[in-house]
Chain A
Amino acid sequence: MRLYLQLPFLAMACVFLSSCGGGGNGGTSSPTTDIPDPPTASDPDPDPVINYDTAEYRRNYGLGAVNSITAYEAGLSGDGVTVATVDTGIDLKQQDLDANISRKSIDLQSNTYDGVQDEYGHGTWVAGIIAAEKNNVGIHGVAFNAQVMAIRADKHSDCTDGCSFSDSDVARGIDYAVANGAKVINLSLGSDRTINPASGLGQSLIHAVDAGLVVVIAAGNGDDNEIGMAEPDGFAQFAANPDVKGGIIIAGAVDSANQMASFSNKAGTGETQDVYMVAPGEHILTTDLTTSDEDRNQLAMIYGTSAAAPYIAAAAAILLEKFPNLDNRQVVQILLDSAKDLGAAGPDEEFGQGLLDIAAAIQPSGTLQISSAGGQSMALQGSLLTSPAMGGGLATAAGRALAFDRYDRAYNASLASRFQAPASRFSLAQAADRMNRISSSLSMGDHGLRLGISATDTGRYHASTSLEIQARDGNERSDMTIEAAITPRLSFSMQSGSTAGRTAATGDLALTARAMDPASQLSASGQRAGLTFALTRHLDVGTVAFMGDRPKADDLDPTLDDPRQSGGALTLRRWLGRTAHLDLEAGRMFERGSTLGLTGSGIFNGIEGAATDYIRFGGGVAVGSLRLDGAYMASRTGTELNGGSVFAGFDTLKANGWSLSLTDQRFASRGHVFGLHMAQPLAVTSGAATLHLATGWQDSAPVYTDQRADLSATERETSFELFHRYAASDTLSLQTNFIYRRNPDNLARSGDEAAVFLHLATAL
């Protein structure tokens, strides 16, 4: 009886792991949502070359205060949206406005376009804040490409130091804006008086809101002695009327430090607080009346809630440009909801909902939704864990789709960023762990019972113990071998008519643990049990059953289920003499929750399972001390979907792989064993997934298309292993394994891997 103690040298110096240019699970990325882009049909092209942080931009500090530059960089400027101003008209000669004055501008008294010429200046100030041109002259407006429909509503009487407006004229102006295509109305006007909903002005405002226009009203410049400043003035309070609430915003004013302007009426405690927000209203530089034909770029510095309201009106124009499908109440709600909180936390009596924030307003609100292939709405979340067999195939898919927020605003979402690289199905670290064990066994010579106990410290994976019972009787084919290991990965293997002696040499190769069946190709761990009978002297028949676990996905996406594989096969081995054989294995693997290892969560969680039929041809021949083994496997995979994802279907996936091993039991001289192994693991050669995604935008509705995502591996892994064992004596041996993997997991971007194992064993 011999006590055989195997001391792997790994713990001392043995494992040299290096990753040439990466390795591991490279390419894994967290799902992200792209910076939203507008719907494709109305998608202005952002021009990264344009610098929006110009002197013209900086002259109007309010543009920065409301984060407008984010909108500009997204290609937004209010283009195509008309903002009506019911005011004192507009300076038709102002060089900074002339291109943005709507031809539908009108003077209500003369009923002419020319009559709209501003005689006091207030309408020109307001218009400049909304849409002064971006032309490197003076300042530019918040929505510098919007159109201003200037509706002159003053009496053309004495406007010394300011004009006044009758309710009926303002009502007419509102009606005109509604009838002539304006999307937004700015009313930088005020009054102490409350407005009766049944009055002409009240009815016009109700009509405008019902017609889908966004209305912005200045909060008023209060005085403590009379109407008070604790709430909006009487006119602005109409915004809280149930007939219009949600369609009108009250605009208060803040200074450059975001402090409440001392003159501004505040949000109040009642219903007005819900629809009140603030914008810059102090020290605002804007366009002024021209003083001569030579000087058409006059500027004015103004204060008042008159200045705050057009910031918000212009922001509404930007929103409507980006999301033309929004209705007025949605625009109002988005602007209010996205406001930057000022003062007391949350909505308050002073700032109401907070400061206008255009950058926040164009961002998605709530969780983005995407429509499944079956038409259900799903939260845009989850990830797709691509299969090692597919390598980086899926990563090349465009994977872009429109996703929708709670207001049905469409955003371009990159699905590709949710594609995660496969976990390495073969880890050099795991291989090291497998070999890094201290084992002992009792063996009663070549004929008898072998009892073994091994303890394996596999580091981060698990620790296990095993009991091996082996009854052997030499290397004859008639021998019987029974092995069992009691570990967390319980395995049982029974072979009758064992060929253990003929294949023992390859057992020294780390890479040969990757048996040529789909489950072990795709699994991080698995069990394989077989039963083989020698049917005749030259023919072995057997069955194989296997189970496998997908690589633990916790590190990638905790919401992913752990798919499992199981299956079985029939095996045939035809012996050609005593030293050569041909193998044939045909089997089927069933997967739950994956297809050839591809699995997903969230919007990709629609793979019910798959069935893979495979066939493997192989053979081996021994000549003297040399032995050559090889195998080739081909498979076809059919996928079953459950309809709850973006997947509309899968092609039949075709894959193949091969391996080749050469060993020499007497390499160079007695005591030296040499082995060489080469393989290309399983890789998909053809097949695609079809994703049903919204990819366009037409007539305010998404357009769905089927996108094909090729699942073929774009690169193939080729792995090499060199093995050498030197038995210095009956009790001492040194084993060296050198492993090199090119394009591990069929991914070039993982970088190549190389490792050296030194294994020292001694027998006592």
Chain B
Amino acid sequence: MPAGRVLAIFALSLLAACSHGGDDAPSDIPEGAVEVREGYYMVPVTKDEDGCQMYRAYAPGMLTDQAIRYQRADGSFTVNKEEAACDGRS
């Protein structure tokens, strides 16, 4: 096997390992997850008693805080339900 190919496989392996950052293989991105930025998602959980959609943070291979988020009208997320775009109860 050419040395260049070996080097490339090794580099790819390293890259893959680094991207995990954890002990086990990263989970697949949950269905419906909204990507907030690279490697960081908001995953819909359930709707609250007002019918407002709740989200949890998700980052493959990483730990995230366990605060519930709501989505604002502009698409960003907040923990403050008052700022959430829940009018449509979507």
Contact partner of A193 among B22, B43, B79, CB < 8 A? B22
B64 and A165 form a contact (CB under 8 A): yes
A158 to B37, CA, bound (A): 8
A190 and B63 form a contact (CB under 8 A): yes
User: How does the 8 Å CB contact mask read for B63-90 relative to A, with 1 for contact and 0 for none?
Assistant: 1111111000000111111100000000
Residues on B with C-beta less than 8 A from A655 are: none
B30 and A164 form a contact (CB under 8 A): no
A162 and B62 form a contact (CB under 8 A): no
Contact partner of B23 among A87, A202, A307, CB < 8 A? A202
Residues on B with C-beta less than 8 A from A188 are: 65-67
A223 to B58, CA, bound (A): 11
B32 and A190 form a contact (CB under 8 A): no
**Interface status of A262 (Cβ within 8 A of chain B):** yes
B65 and A189 form a contact (CB under 8 A): yes
Contact partner of A226 among B31, B48, B54, B63, CB < 8 A? B31
User: How does the 8 Å CB contact mask read for A133-166 relative to B, with 1 for contact and 0 for none?
Assistant: 0000000000000000000000000101111111
Residues on B with C-beta less than 8 A from A170 are: 63
A263 and B63 form a contact (CB under 8 A): no
A189 and B63 form a contact (CB under 8 A): yes
**Interface status of A381 (Cβ within 8 A of chain B):** no
Residues on B with C-beta less than 8 A from A9 are: none
Shortest distance from the beta carbon of B67 to any chain A beta carbon, whole Å: 4
User: How does the 8 Å CB contact mask read for B32-57 relative to A, with 1 for contact and 0 for none?
Assistant: 10001101101111111100001011
Within 8 A of B (CB), among A189-221: 189-196, 199, 201-202, 218-221
Residues on B with C-beta less than 8 A from A190 are: 63-66
Contact partner of A263 among B21, B24, B54, CB < 8 A? B54
A726 to B78, CA, bound (A): 101
Using CB atoms, name the residue of chain A closest to B37.
Answer: A158
Q: Which of B40, B42, B66, B78 has the most CB of A within 10 A?
A: B66
Among the stretches A298-306, A383-391, A571-579, the one at the interface with B is A298-306
A168 to B63, CA, bound (A): 10
Residues on A with C-beta less than 8 A from B63 are: 164-167, 170, 189-191, 235
Main secondary structure of the interface of A (DSSP, over half): loop
A224 to B47, CA, bound (A): 12
Residues on B with C-beta less than 8 A from A165 are: 62-64
A225 and B36 form a contact (CB under 8 A): no
Within 8 A of B (CB), among A304-339: 304-307, 309
| Given A193-B22, A196-B23, A223-B56: A163 in contact with B46 (beta carbons within 8 A) | no
B36 and A303 form a contact (CB under 8 A): no
Residues on B with C-beta less than 8 A from A191 are: 22, 62-64
| Given A162-B57, A221-B56, A225-B30: A307 in contact with B62 (beta carbons within 8 A) | no
Q: Which of A168, A221, A305 has the most CB of B within 10 A?
A: A221
25 A–B contacts from the bound complex (CB under 8 Å): A160-B36, A161-B36, A161-B40, A161-B57, A162-B36, A162-B57, A162-B64, A162-B65, A164-B59, A165-B62, A165-B63, A167-B21, A191-B64, A193-B24, A201-B23, A221-B54, A222-B56, A223-B45, A225-B31, A262-B54, A263-B46, A300-B79, A301-B80, A302-B68, A303-B81
Closest 5 pairs between A and B when the two form their complex, measured CB to CB: A164-B59, A303-B68, A164-B62, A306-B66, A221-B56
Seen from chain B, the residues whose Cβ lies within 8 Å of a Cβ on chain A are 21-24, 26-27, 30-32, 36-37, 39-40, 42-49, 54, 56-59, 61-69, 76-82
